Amino acid sequence: MTEAWAYGGGPPVSAQTGLITLVEGLAFCIADSAGDIRPGAEQGLFFRDTRFLNRFELTVDGEHLQVLRADCPTPYEATIITRRPPLPGLADSTLLVIRRRYVGTGMREDLTLRNLSQHPADVRLELAVDADFAGLFDVKEGRVRPREGIRRSAGPAEPGGGVLRLRYDQGAESRAVTVTGDSGASAADGRLTWRLVVPPRGERDLSVQVVPAVDGVEAAPSYRPGQPVETSGPATRLAAWRRVTPVLHTPDAAIAALVTRSAEDLGALRIIDPDHPDRTVVAAGAPWFMTLFGRDSLLTSWMLLPLDPTVALGTLRTLAERQGGKVDPRTEEEPGRIMHELRCGLDAEAALGGGSVYYGTIDATPLFVVLLGELRRWGLASADVDALLPHADRALEWIDRYGDRDGDGFVEYQRATERGLVNQGWKDSFDAISFADGTPATPPIALAEVQGYVYAAFVARAHFARETGDEEQSQYWAHRAATLKRQFNEQFWLPDRGYFALALDAEKRPVDALASNMGHCLWTGLVDEDKAASVARHLLSPEMFTGFGVRTLATTMGAYNPMSYHNGSVWPHDNALIAGGLMRYGFTAQAQRVALAVMDAGRHFGWRLPELFCGFDRADFPAPVPYPTSCSPQAWAAAAPLYLLRTLLRFDPWVPRGRVWCHPAVPPQLLPLRVERLHLAGATVSVSVTRSGWRVDGLPEGIELVRQPRRPLTADVPASAPTG
C-alpha span between 150 and 147 (Å, rounded): 7
Greatest distance between any 2 Cα atoms in the chain: 89
Query: In this model, does residue 6 exceed pLDDT 70?
Result: no
Mean pLDDT rounded to a whole number for the chain:
91
Give residue-wise pLDDT tens across range 529-548.
999 999 999 999 999 999 99
CA angle, residues 423, 495, 492, in degrees to nearest 5: 30
Beta bridge partners of 77: 74, 102
Average pLDDT value for residue range 597-613: 94
Buried b (16+ CB within 10 A) or exposed e, 316-347: bbbbbebbbeeeeeebbbbebbbbbbbbbbbb
C-alpha span between 11 and 675 (Å, rounded): 25
| Distance from the Cα of residue 379 to its chain's centroid | 24
C-alpha span between 37 and 55 (Å, rounded): 5
Cis preceding-peptide flag for 672 (omega within 30 of 0): yes
Comparison of pLDDT for 242 and 403, the residue scoring more: 403
C-alpha span between 134 and 48 (Å, rounded): 11
**Residue type, position 633, single letter:** P
Q: At what angle do helices 529-539 and 588-603 cross, to 10 degrees?
A: 30
Residue of 387, 510, 351, 527 lying closest to 449 (CA atoms): 527
Query: In this model, does residue 10 exceed pLDDT 50?
Result: no
Query: By mean pLDDT, which of 438-452, 554-568, 702-716 is the weakest?
Result: 702-716
Look at residue 13 in the predicted model and tell me its pLDDT. Answer: 58
Look at residue 225 in the predicted model and tell me its pLDDT. Answer: 79
Please list the alpha-helical segments (H only) found in 21-178: 136-140
Read off the pLDDT band of 14 (50, 70, 90): low
Query: By mean pLDDT, which of 279-288, 401-410, 509-518, 703-712 is the weakest?
Result: 279-288
Sorted by where each starts, the structural domains of the chain and their CATH numbers stand as 19-238 (2.70.98.40), 276-403 (no CATH), 429-526 (no CATH)
Average pLDDT value for residue range 557-566: 98
Residue of 560, 693, 547, 674 lying closest to 621 (CA atoms): 547
DSSP code string of 437-479: TSPBPPSSBEEHHHHHHHHHHHHHHHHHHHHTT-HHHHHHHHH
Average pLDDT value for residue range 434-443: 98
Question: Do residues 151 and 168 lie in contact, with contact meaning Cβ atoms separated by under 8 Å?
Answer: yes
Read off the pLDDT band of 168 (50, 70, 90): very high
Question: What separation in angstroms does the CA of 708 have from each of 283, 511, 576, 680, 699?
Answer: 35, 38, 21, 19, 16
Q: What percent of the chain has pLDDT over 90?
A: 75
Give residue-wise pLDDT tens across range 229-271.
888 877 787 777 777 788 999 999 999 999 988 888 888 788 8
Read off the pLDDT band of 354 (50, 70, 90): low
Query: In this model, does residue 353 exceed pLDDT 60?
Result: no
Query: In this model, does residue 86 exceed pLDDT 50?
Result: yes
C-alpha span between 585 and 581 (Å, rounded): 6
Look at residue 261 in the predicted model and tell me its pLDDT. Answer: 86
Look at residue 5 in the predicted model and tell me its pLDDT. Answer: 27
Give phi and psi for 342, each to the nearest 5.
-120, 130
Residue of 653, 665, 670 lying closest to 706 (CA atoms): 653
Give residue-wise pLDDT tens across range 635-679.
999 999 999 999 999 999 999 999 999 999 999 999 999 999 999
Look at residue 56 in the predicted model and tell me its pLDDT. Answer: 98
Average pLDDT value for residue range 297-317: 94
Please give the DSSP secondary-structure letter assigned to residue 716: G
Q: How many CA atoms lie within 13 A of 274 on its CB side?
A: 9
